Amino acid sequence: MTHAIRFERTGGPDVLSFQEIALKAPGDGEVRVRHTAVGVNFIDIYHRTGLYKVPLPSGLGLEAAGVVESVGAGVTRFREGDRVAYASGPIGAYSEAHNIVANRAVKIPDGVGDDVAAAILLKGLTAHYLLRRTYKVEPGTTILFHAAAGGVGMIAIQWARSLGATIIGTVGSDNKVELARRLGCHHVIVSSRENIAGRVREITGGKGVPVVYDSVGRDTFMATLDSLSPLGMFVSFGNASGPVPPFDGALLAQKGSLYFTRPTLANYVTTPEELDTAAGELFDLVARNVIRKSEPKRFPLAQAAEAHQALESRQTTGSLVLIPG
Ligand SMILES: NC(=O)c1ccc[n+]([C@@H]2O[C@H](COP(=O)([O-])OP(=O)(O)OC[C@H]3O[C@@H](n4cnc5c(N)ncnc54)[C@H](OP(=O)(O)O)[C@@H]3O)[C@@H](O)[C@H]2O)c1
């Protein structure tokens, strides 16, 4: 028997409960991972609230690290005892153990702890595709990155800095400014008391920026549009404040023939080769201290609801992990 966080109806953090579950032997192509650390991601909140629909009752979570406990038929990628991490479905990572598709996991290199792997894999793979593929950041590119002190933000800002970008980051409150600067932001805008687009125009001498990475959604939609230079790219990759409103394509013409994309990690990492390349780059930057391994905030697995409460109330910076008891 093993334990997992489950929920029977959508709602607030209180719908989450810690339950005993039965876990089958891993199927063909699967491995069973005994978790040592579980990554908390904002998408888990979208699943819990029903913004993204999942069949109920359900487990929760897409990311964890741990040790391969048993191997299903046909798996050659891993053996029992390997330290691995993963950042994709099937949903159910908020658990002591989980069966996952072996091709969707990676070995954790020596020198990277399980808690760090669980804290950075999903967010780091996201930062990788955003900065290296969706809009290629080059030396001298000026970018606007919202929620710069958050989990994805913390990795993306350091990564963008290493690529030679000039970085404007937004944070929700004054107490996150110092961290955003330390991560590598050249300019920090406090979204709760400053006019984001106005400040971006000021900083860029009226030009605007060629790309905005926006995971806040509803609350920053207009500010993002108004911060872009002509032909700029609006990268809408999340909805922490709610989904962006439906809009007329003509708005993109009006604001300067802009491009709008709504990317998701699952479309950028579709093969084990893509996963290994992106994770390899991420772990290499961590090994070289380009991305510093800041301590994730830890919660006991059974207290996942508290982790959600902290994340959605904008109290946190960096990553959160759940530790099985
Ligand atoms: N599309 C993809 O492939 C992909 C993959 C991973 C993550 N994401 C998205 O990336 C974003 C960051 O994920 P994360 O797990 O690292 O979370 P996070 O950034 O640690 O937390 C979200 C942050 O968003 C900001 N925010 C602004 N308005 C908010 C509101 N009304 N409610 C809550 N937060 C608000 C807060 O920072 P401030 O208080 O500083 O504003 C908060 O800390 C999420 O939107 C997530 O869905 C997308």
Ligand 1 in reach of 155 Cβ (< 6 A): no
In-domain check, residue 274: no
Strands 142-145, 63-71: pairing kind:
unpaired
Express the helix, strand and coil content of the chain in percent, nearest 5 each.
35, 25, 40
Q: What is the pLDDT of residue 293?
A: 75
Same domain flag for 221 and 130: yes
In-domain check, residue 215: yes
CATH number of the domain bearing residue 250: 3.40.50.720
Residue type present at position 51: L
* Number of Cβ atoms within 10 Å of the Cβ of 65: 30
Same domain flag for 259 and 134: yes
In-domain check, residue 286: no
Residue 76: CA count within 13 A, CB half-sphere: 2
Ligand 1 midpoint to CA 274 (Å)? 24
Residue 38: CA count within 13 A, CB half-sphere: 29
In-domain check, residue 287: no
Per the DSSP assignment, residues forming a β-bridge with 142 are 166
Same domain flag for 145 and 238: yes
Tokens 């991972």 sit at which residue?
A: 33
Residue-wise pLDDT tens for the chain (325 aa)?
899 999 999 999 999 999 999 999 999 999 999 999 999 999 999 999 999 999 999 999 999 999 999 999 999 999 999 999 999 999 999 999 999 999 999 999 999 999 999 999 999 999 999 999 999 999 999 999 999 999 999 999 999 999 999 999 999 999 999 999 999 999 999 999 999 999 999 999 999 999 999 999 999 999 999 999 999 999 999 999 999 999 999 999 999 999 999 999 999 999 999 999 999 999 999 999 999 978 899 999 999 999 999 999 999 999 999 999 8
Same domain flag for 311 and 258: no
Ligand 1 midpoint to CA 43 (Å)? 9
Ligand 1 midpoint to CA 150 (Å)? 6
* Structural domain harbouring 104: 2-112+293-323
Ligand 1 in reach of 43 Cβ (< 6 A): yes
pLDDT 10s digits, 32-58: 999 999 999 999 999 999 999 999 999
Ligand 1 in reach of 128 Cβ (< 6 A): no
Pocket test for ligand 1, best of 123, 159, 215 (most atoms within 8 A of CB): 215
Ligand 1 midpoint to CA 239 (Å)? 7
Domains: count for the chain = 2
Pairwise CA distance, residues 160 & 290, whole Å = 10
CATH number of the domain bearing residue 68: 3.90.180.10
Q: What is the pLDDT of residue 39?
A: 98
In-domain check, residue 303: yes
In-domain check, residue 272: no
Pairwise CA distance, residues 149 & 317, whole Å = 5
Q: Is the pTM of this model over 0.85?
A: yes
In-domain check, residue 210: yes
Same domain flag for 240 and 302: no
Ligand 1 in reach of 126 Cβ (< 6 A): yes
Q: What is the greatest pairwise CA distance in the chain?
A: 62
Sign of CA dihedral 100, 270, 105, 38: negative
Same domain flag for 306 and 259: no
Q: What is the pLDDT of residue 242?
A: 98
Q: What is the pLDDT of residue 1?
A: 81
pLDDT 10s digits, 124-154: 999 999 999 999 999 999 999 999 999 999 9
Q: What is the pLDDT of residue 88?
A: 96
Same domain flag for 129 and 169: yes
In-domain check, residue 275: no
Same domain flag for 155 and 102: no
Same domain flag for 17 and 63: yes
Q: What is the pLDDT of residue 261?
A: 98
Minimal-distance CA residue to ligand 1 atom 35? 240
Q: What is the pLDDT of residue 70?
A: 97
Same domain flag for 129 and 252: yes
